[in-house]
């Protein structure tokens, strides 16, 4: 099995600046990001194994939009807006659950079949001859890729998921991602940070800080960690295990218990690999398990970091121990990254902040910023425009760019 395609080579003389500080605290820009960076780009909401039986459902909320994903009586997985067609209440509430044969709105008792069609409304005679066929749940665009569930609330610039993530397809197939199972009841993590979402991405999009900020990862990888950037807003990072046993207890025992699966190509048997998707999603695979995590913006100054852990079927006791230890290492690393995100985001408001000056090892930060600049040309301006002009100014700059092209 071959490796993924060739990454983008860091160019000579590249612009080492990041996005200007004003873009991290602008309310008007955040609204543009909502429409043109998040709602119209693919978001991962879970895995088919999260809803294994007919009637199982899970939900995904993003910036005012609400989705539910449900497995119907024939085993087909479907996605809908979690919005009753009567008065807009949530049809199901909570992160996940099960309904026997139908979904019942808790507001007035409208009943929906698992395929989204309206089975019936309470007191139907009071609606003056309503046609039930006109009031099914509205679908949300969904695709399944190696078992992972992707949603998109608005049409957008990205191609179908399988085409978009084709460079990673061979690796993900080698990891047997379609066969993954939920890790355990504690396999879902949620942390809310007082930062703009881009500050979270800025930390995660480069490994230059690993040696200084992440002692456990440095103990696990040594100097092997590498970041690579690919066209289409994709990124790939990989750290191979060191030649000697780790100094830290978690790392030393992790290396003792983690498997070396023979079905994986040699380069993946003793490494942690990360596959990034613009704007906010990362898949992480290790020999004993997998996870995805993403940064969900709540406001211009608040971001929720969600993660979900998965395991392979037929675990041995050693593999379970390795997965537990990997989680310890990863969660300690996450706490370290969260503090870095807070410090970085705070700096954007300081009168002393000039700009980033990025290393070649931080080219992933620049590449992510360039994707934002491409979608929102107003972010190319060094000085903050008036808040009430940002939307119109962005359209003017977009039109000017199109005319020049």
Q: For the chain, what are the domain ranges? A: 1-41+167-405, 47-155
Portion of the chain with pLDDT greater than 90, in percent: 88
Average pLDDT over every residue of 151-168: 96
Tell me if 1-41+167-405 shares its fold with 47-155: no
CA 192 – CA 195 distance, rounded (Å):
9
pLDDT score for 5: 66
pLDDT at 316: 95
The full DSSP string for 359-396 is -GGGHHHHHHHHHHHHH-GGGG-SSPPPGGGHHHHHHH
pLDDT at 210 over 60: yes
Report the pLDDT value the prediction gives residue 187, as an integer from 0 to 100.
73
Q: Is it the case that residue 92 has pLDDT exceeding 70?
A: yes
pLDDT at 296: 97
End-to-end CA distance of the chain: 40
CATH fold label, 1-41+167-405: Naphthalene 1,2-dioxygenase Alpha Subunit; Chain A, domain 1 (3.90.380)
Segment holding 126, helix H or strand E: none
Dist. CA 295–CA 33, nearest whole Å: 13
Confidence class for position 2, pLDDT limits 50, 70, 90: very low
| Token code pair at residue 61 | 């909320």
Average pLDDT over residues 223-244: 92
**pLDDT tens-digit readout, 164-202:** 999 999 999 999 999 999 987 667 889 999 999 999 999
- Residues in a beta bridge with 113: 102
| Residue-level pLDDT at 17 | 95
Average pLDDT in the 219-229 region?
93
Rounded Cα–Cα distance for residues 7 and 173 (Å)? 20
Query: Predicted confidence band at 1 (pLDDT cuts at 50, 70, 90)?
Result: very low
The pLDDT of 76-104, averaged and rounded, is 95
**CATH classification for the domain delimited by 47-155, as one of 3.40.50.1010, 2.102.10.10, 3.40.50.10490, 2.40.110.20:** 2.102.10.10
Please tell me the predicted confidence (pLDDT) of residue 243.
Answer: 79
pLDDT digits (tens, 9 = 90+) for 54-88: 999 999 999 999 999 999 999 999 999 999 999 99
Confidence of residue 271 (pLDDT cuts 50, 70, 90): very high
Tens digits of per-residue pLDDT, 333-353?
999 999 999 999 999 999 999
How much is the pLDDT for 402? 57
Say whether pLDDT at 405 is over 50.
no
Q: Does the pLDDT at position 245 exceed 90?
A: no
Burial of 157 (0-12, 13-18, 19+ CB in 10 A): exposed
Q: How many helices (H) and strands (E) does the chain have?
A: 11, 18
pLDDT tens readout for residues 295-318: 999 999 999 999 999 999 999 999
The whole-model pTM stands at 0.94
Q: Give the residue carrying structure tokens 């107003």.
A: 378
d(CA 361, CA 212): 14
In what helix (H) or strand (E) does residue 180 lie, and over which residues does it extend? none
Q: What is the pLDDT of residue 132?
A: 87
- Number of other residues whose CB lies within 10 A of the CB of residue 158: 18
């Amino acid at each position: 099995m071959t490796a993924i395609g060739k990454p983008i080579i860091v160019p000579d003389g590249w612009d080492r600046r990041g996005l200007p500080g004003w873009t991290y605290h602008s309310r008007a820009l955040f609204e543009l990001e909502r429409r043109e960076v998040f709602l119209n780009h693919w978001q991962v909401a879970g895995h088919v194994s999260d809803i294994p039986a007919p009637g199982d459902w899970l939900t995904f909320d993003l910036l005012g939009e609400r989705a539910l994903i449900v497995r119907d009586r024939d085993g087909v997985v479907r996605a809908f807006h979690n919005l009753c067609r009567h008065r807009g209440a949530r049809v199901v509430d909570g992160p996940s659950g099960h309904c026997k044969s139908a979904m019942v709105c808790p507001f007035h008792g409208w009943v929906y079949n698992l395929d989204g069609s309206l089975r019936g409304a309470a007191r139907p005679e009071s609606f003056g001859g309503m046609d039930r066929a006109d009031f099914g749940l509205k679908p949300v665009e969904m695709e399944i890729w190696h078992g992972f569930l992707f949603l998109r609330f608005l049409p957008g610039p990205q191609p179908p998921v399988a085409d978009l993530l084709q460079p990673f397809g061979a690796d993900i197939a080698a990891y047997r991602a379609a066969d993954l199972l939920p890790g355990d009841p504690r396999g879902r993590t949620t942390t809310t940070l007082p930062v703009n979402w881009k500050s979270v991405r800025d930390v995660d999009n480069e490994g230059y800080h690993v040696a200084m900020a992440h002692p456990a990862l440095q103990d696990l990888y040594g100097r092997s960690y590498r970041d690579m950037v690919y066209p289409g807003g994709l990124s790939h990072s990989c750290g191979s295990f060191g030649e000697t046993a780790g100094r830290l207890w978690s790392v030393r025992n992790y290396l003792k218990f983690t498997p070396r699966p023979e079905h994986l190509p040699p380069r993946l048997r003793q490494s942690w690999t990360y596959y990034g998707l613009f704007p906010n999603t990362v898949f992480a695979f290790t020999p004993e398990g997998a996870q995805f995590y993403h940064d969900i913006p709540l406001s211009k100054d608040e971001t929720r970091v969600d993660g979900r852990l998965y395991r392979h079927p037929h675990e041995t006791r050693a593999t379970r121990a390795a997965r537990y230890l990997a989680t310890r290492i990863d969660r300690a690393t996450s706490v370290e990254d969260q503090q870095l995100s807070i410090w970085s985001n705070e700096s954007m408001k300081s009168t002393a902040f000039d700009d980033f000056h990025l290393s070649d090892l931080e080219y992933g930060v620049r590449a992510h910023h360039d994707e934002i600049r491409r979608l929102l040309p107003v972010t190319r301006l060094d000085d903050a425009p008036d808040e009430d002009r940002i939307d119109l100014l962005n359209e003017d700059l977009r039109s000017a760019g199109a005319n020049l092209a």
